[in-house]
């Protein structure tokens, strides 16, 4: 079928409501799914080097620095935490909480 042969485009949309609100979440993503983090970092780097955006102020997810720079900072700050601890911290804050009535 024709639809099967078409190449799928990958769309990455990061908004102000991004679930990765701090470096600890970036570290968790990198440890849990390094391929997705790498792909996201490549998209970001391509955006920074693209001529269309030359000379414009571009914001990253955390406001300063690239994803890789923020990952390095996260490793320094939170590198001692295990995946279980990172998961616990992620799930106990914000929209990952579940509420029972």
CB 30 within 8 Å of CB 37: yes
Is 100 domain-assigned?
A: no
Query: Encoding tokens for residue 4?
Result: 């099967």
In a domain, 59, yes or no: yes
Listed in sequence order, the residues at least 6 apart from 98 whose beta carbon sits closer than 8 Å to its beta carbon are: none
Residue 50 belongs to a domain: yes
Tell me, yes or no, whether 2 lies in a domain.
no
> Residue 14: what pLDDT?
45
Number of folded domains that form the chain: 1
C-beta of residue 69 within 8 angstroms of C-beta of residue 23:
no
For residue 22, what pLDDT is reported?
83
Q: Which domain holds residue 23?
A: 19-93
CA neighbours closer than 13 Å in the CB half-sphere of residue 99: 4
Q: Is residue 6 part of a domain?
A: no
* Domain assignment present for 99: no
d(CA 34, CA 81): 17
Mean pLDDT, rounded, for 17-30: 79
């Amino acid at each position: 079928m024709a639809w099967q042969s078409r190449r799928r485009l990958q769309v990455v949309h990061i908004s102000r409501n991004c679930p990765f609100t701090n470096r600890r979440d970036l570290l968790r993503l990198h440890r849990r799914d390094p391929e997705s983090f790498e792909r996201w970092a490549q998209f970001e780097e391509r955006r920074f080097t693209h001529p269309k955006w030359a000379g414009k102020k571009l914001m990253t997810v955390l406001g300063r620095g690239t994803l890789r720079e923020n990952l390095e900072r996260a490793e320094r700050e939170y590198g001692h935490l295990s995946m279980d601890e990172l998961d616990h911290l992620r799930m106990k804050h914000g929209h990952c909480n579940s509420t029972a009535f």
